[in-house]
Amino acid sequence: MSTIALPTRLLAANFARDRIALLSFWLLAALLFCALAAPWLAPQNPYDLAQLDILDAKLAPGVKSSAGSTYWLGTDDQGRDMLSAILYGLRISLGVGITSTVLALALGVISGMTAARAGGWIDGLIMRIVDLQLSFPAILVALILLALTGQGIDRIILALVVVQWAYYARTVRAAALVELKKEYVEAAVCMGVAGLRILLRHVLPNVLPPVMVVATVQIAQAIALEATLSFLGLGLPITEPSLGLLIANGYAHLLSGKYWISFFPGLALLVTIVAINLVGDRLRDLLNPRLR
């Protein structure tokens, strides 16, 4: 039956029984807070060139700046405080990951439901597109799209939506087909409920929760993919540096032993991705009726 019927409090209590998942949840909450509050938390605005001091370039973590404050995570080649850069980068990475996943989910749900309801050649067409797209690795599709459209935050979100939607479309279609055959839908049809209303009010609430759990984990995938594309120089422009771009910047200095410029942004990326994965896994386990 519907997983949404589970009272939220029961779900929360069950969730909290796994210590690691609970820890990840709070960690994730903290990361989200840091990302949202970056302008107030960060010691400096890393993209206001007036605040940067080139004399402070490439300082090791913990070294005091010429102005007296401490660079806890060191500075990059332009004298930018890495801690501030990471906080701002986290903001962009999380923003891009969440936005693209939500948009892809919406597109996937709409096309999956349409395919399931319409059937016939519309179904065939949508599913062939999905098949075609899923037969290529996400990174290749995203890479090509970005090569075609150029850089920019809107372009990368578009690319991430394109690589993710097909997966949701397939899942939603399969789930909707199962639901559409059930008795409550038949009952609703007999009562003369309009077709669209059946889809939105009866089928959708039963189809959505499992897909949303998958989407939680997909946010981590989207963040990792964005970081990878930015690292390759095809993602975000230098004016909007995500964690991936910060890592790429530090890459040039890695061989001279200045590890912190890429290491700490990478660590932030890793912690974010692991935390999202652990929370998502736990949610999936809780909501999966087979494992309960």
Q: What CA–CA distances, in Å, run from 56 to 43, 60, 63, 89, 192? A: 15, 10, 9, 20, 73
At 81, is the secondary structure helix, strand, or coil?
strand
Residue 188 in tokens:
């609703």
Beta-strand runs (E) in the chain: 63-64, 70-71
Q: Which residues pair with 75 in a beta bridge?
A: 81
Minimum gap (Å) between residue 69 Cβ and other proteins: 27
CB-wise, 206 or 221, nearer to other proteins? 221
Minimum gap (Å) between residue 249 Cβ and other proteins: 12
Cα gap 269→139, rounded to integer Å: 18
CB-wise, 180 or 278, nearer to other proteins? 278
CB-wise, 138 or 199, nearer to other proteins? 138
Minimum gap (Å) between residue 207 Cβ and other proteins: 25
* Residue 233: CB atoms within 10 Å: 14
Residues 6+ apart with CB under 8 A from 1: none
CB-wise, 198 or 227, nearer to other proteins? 227
CB-wise, 44 or 272, nearer to other proteins? 272
Minimum gap (Å) between residue 263 Cβ and other proteins: 7
Say if CB 86 and CB 44 are below 8 A apart.
no
Minimum gap (Å) between residue 196 Cβ and other proteins: 32
Minimum gap (Å) between residue 130 Cβ and other proteins: 13
At 64, is the secondary structure helix, strand, or coil?
strand
CB-wise, 188 or 263, nearer to other proteins? 263
Which residue in this structure is represented by tokens 């394109």? 162
Cα gap 41→24, rounded to integer Å: 21
Could you list the residues that contact other proteins (CB under 8 A)?
A: 132, 135-137, 139-140, 143-144, 147-150, 220, 224, 227-228, 231-234, 244, 247, 251, 254-255, 257, 259, 262-263, 266, 269-270, 273-274, 277-278, 281
